Amino acid sequence: MSVTHARGFEAGGLACGIKDSGAADLAVVTTADRAPAVAAGVFTRNLAVAAPVQVSRAHLRDGSATAVIVNSGNANAATGEAGVRDARRMCELTASGLGCAAGDVLVCSTGLIGIPLPFHALEAGIPKLTGALNGATAAAEAMLTTDTVRKEAVASVAGTTAVVGGMAKGAAMLAPSMATMLAVITTDAAVEPDALQQSLTRAVDVSFNQLCVDACTSTNDTVLVLANGAAAADEPLAGRDLDAFTDALTSVCLSLAEQMAADAEGATKLARIVVNGARTVDDARRAAHAVAASQLVQCSLNGADPYWGRVWSELGASGAGIDPQLVDIAYGGVVVCRDGVAALHDEDALAGVMAQRDVTITCELKLGDASATVLTTDLSPGYIDENRRTS
């Protein structure tokens, strides 16, 4: 269901020939009545930004959008002015197929960088797609690249009849400040543009931005949300209802983020790095990110080796305020380091923890009350294999 879980949205996906494999590579999401919905977006902070991000930012300036067109298999990044023209033409083709304004179409691309879009494929594919909207499952499938499974999530807005649904893709380059990831989310809640942007920013901050697989920040990262208000004829959400909406949006983003981490390229472990007792949330996040991004910690996870010395070292090098002599480190609740030195522990219990696919590493800094959690994975030969050749 995902992006059509909310009332008044349609979606579809198909293979238009961008991917040599013949897999699906073109998706669209639109309001059912083709009227603009309230829309908001969060984009990559990379200065090297792909053409579709530039175009979507411009089209979002009025806080509304009717549709999102997504292609996979080509990032339309490092493609210069021609790339920007291609991204605009994708919006125009989508608009004429759906019967809306080109300025109300947002565009996302994901795939290889530096290769011009094969536009003939899109010229044939977009009209075909907009003419036969075959549903959210096909859309969620068509946005994938090296992902092995679709990522979809839904949630209800407590105390209202509104719901939120979303789809995403993301497999490598999962990093702080976003990842090679696209997410399109829809809701039938009525939300004002500024409120929608604030809700989305908060949701992304505690979900996608707390993912860190390889610390690479992509050129194309985009999270979009469309709110058509179909669930209610009355006023936009405010107060407690608006908070409930933010909670539902956050829950969808968190679920999609966890699905991404679980499907990260080559990953055999999903690790949750928890830092407690930091002086500030910024310190907690910085420390957790440093541990999560560490190639050496990730190698240890691959070997199911609870080598906490690397965790301790990364905390110290993170730039966060820590006193190394106070730090406790636990794997799945088994404390292996107490007050900065090795702690006696139950070896069998620890081996049991490390044998699991999901491992939680908890670091107690004992300096304050702030906490943060970052998701990461192990570093595996499969990751290298996936990324060593583009062809």
Tokens encoding 345: 């522990």
**Which CB atom, from 139 or from 353, has the smaller least distance to its own copies?**
353
Task: Kindly tell me which of 198 and 313 has the beta carbon lying closer to its own copies.
Answer: 313
Active site residue 217: no
Residue closer to its own copies by CB (options 99, 381) is 381
Q: Which among 31, 145, 180, 246 is annotated as catalytic?
A: 180
Let me know: does 94 contact 131? Beta carbons within 8 Å: no
Q: By C-beta, is 159 or 381 nearer to its own copies?
A: 381
* Residues 6 or more apart whose Cβ sits within 8 Å of residue 313: none
CA 165 distance to own-chain centroid: 14
Rounded CA-CA distance 207/38 in Å is: 22
- Interacting residues toward its own copies by CB under 8 A: 45-49, 75, 77-80, 82-83, 112-116, 172-173, 177, 214-219, 293-296, 299-300, 302-303, 305, 307-310, 312-317, 322-325, 327, 337, 339-342, 379-381, 383-385, 387-391
Write down the least CB distance from residue 206 to its own copies, Å: 21
As given in the structure block, the two tokens for residue 193 are 């543009």
Q: Which residues contact 340 (CB under 8 A, 6 or more apart)?
A: 312, 324, 325, 326, 327
Q: Which is nearer to its own copies, 62 or 339 (CB)?
A: 339
Helices (H) and strands (E) in the chain, counts: 11, 16
State whether residue 166 is helix, strand or coil: strand
Judge whether 164 and 249 are in contact, CB under 8 Å.
yes
Q: How many CA atoms lie less than 13 Å away from 185 in the CB half-sphere?
A: 35
Q: How far is CA 319 from the centre of its chain?
A: 26
Judge contact between 326 and 340, C-beta under 8 A: yes
Is-contact 198 153, C-beta < 8 A?
Answer: no
CB of 190 closer than 8 Å to CB of 226: no
Indicate the length of the chain as a whole number: 391
**Nearest to its own copies of 78, 281 (CB atom):** 78
Q: Provide the annotated active-site residues.
A: 180
